[in-house]
Amino acid sequence: MHKTTNYLFSADLLRAFAIILVVIIHVFSEYVNSPGYFLSGSWWIANFINSMSRIAVPLFVMLSGMLILHDKKAYTIRVFLKKRISRIGLPLLIWPLLYFLWRLWLNHKEFTLESVINDYLSLGIYYHLYYLYIIAGLYLLTPLFKTFMNAATKETARYVVIVIFIFSLSISLMKFFAHIGPNFATIFTVFLPYIPYYLAGDFLRDVRLSKRQAWLASSAFILLSALTTLGTYWHMGSVGWGVGDGRYRFDRYFYDYLSITVIPMAILGYLLIQTLSDTTVILKKKLPSLVIGQLATTSFGIFLIHPFLLEFSNRILKLDFSEFHIPVILFLLLKTILIISTSYLITTLCRRLPVVKIIFG
């Protein structure tokens, strides 16, 4: 792992944690959202693990803010956008098309231009691709955010971050419980509720917790995870499972990245991982450092390809928890490791191929 003078171990650790948690969410959600196992002992454990993992996408967004907004180098807007578009532009075009074609083949549907455009604009092609548009939208407004964060006093920045978080939290509450408010489920607007995470990543960049604060933060994180678990149980029981297009709904309020429990969980998780990167010496030893560095380097590719491998393992290889006579949680953990490992190997290989490497970041 090549380390420059600007290398931040905390950034690698955040990426490694975040990508592992993303895969955990998608593997464990299959079980949590299966009505036949509702309220079983394994369901409660899977629900709790899934709840703890909901900080994944917020961590990625805060990491972007930590690295990009804090960068003091003087770029023109043209140079900045060119630099960022070169990283995300081609993946933004290619991956939705690849997943659209995969979905057509898997479900034996016909290709129509109208369905491509509608699904593309409404983020309906595949469930994880919305993240690309979050990052793209934040990149477009980064010159404005950088100007503000560089000029604002700490007190002003804190005030603005808190106020925007309140707006995002309120929008999430209205969407789930009042069914009113603006629709951010389009490629042009999906990034807006995530702005406070982006700003918070920069604002909290240099914060480190004392030993006592770290214990308190860890306790609060576990408590909030438990509340998310209970809240999800309540939401499933009160709102119902709601069969839509042949799949069980995944729109559980307390799993939402802007829910009343996940927002503080994400901030606590960010601070704890930042503190961990400075205080835990074993993580910087050769083998752990190598694993963390490799996961961090390939995290973008793992994020992009792992849903395909997960679907392939379910539909083609039949690696379903109902087919194996081993403890469910053990099966889900082993499947998570398999998906991460395979995604890592494919990403590592593809990053060595001309042209192909561009779409893997």
Question: According to the model, what pLDDT value does residue 121 have?
Answer: 85
- Tens of pLDDT, residue by residue, the chain (361 residues): 445 445 789 999 999 999 999 999 999 999 998 888 888 999 999 999 999 999 999 999 999 999 999 876 767 788 877 777 778 888 998 999 899 888 888 777 777 778 788 888 888 889 999 999 999 999 999 999 999 999 999 999 999 999 999 999 999 998 888 778 777 889 999 999 999 999 999 999 999 999 999 999 999 999 999 999 999 999 887 766 543 443 334 468 999 999 999 999 999 999 999 999 998 888 888 899 999 999 999 999 999 999 999 999 998 898 988 888 899 999 999 999 999 999 999 999 999 998 888 888 7
66: region left, alpha or beta (phi > 0 left; psi from -120 to 50 alpha): alpha
Q: Is the pTM of this model over 0.85?
A: yes
Question: According to the model, what pLDDT value does residue 212 have?
Answer: 96
Question: According to the model, what pLDDT value does residue 303 have?
Answer: 97
244 exposed, middle or buried (CB, 10 Å; 0-12, 13-18, 19+)? exposed
Q: What is the dihedral of CA 119, 124, 129, 134, to 10 degrees?
A: 90
Question: According to the model, what pLDDT value does residue 241 have?
Answer: 54
Phi, then psi, of 126 in degrees rounded to 5: -155, 150
Question: According to the model, what pLDDT value does residue 251 have?
Answer: 63
Q: What angle do CA 317, 345, 27 make, to 5 degrees?
A: 50
Q: Where are the domains of the chain?
A: 9-205+219-360
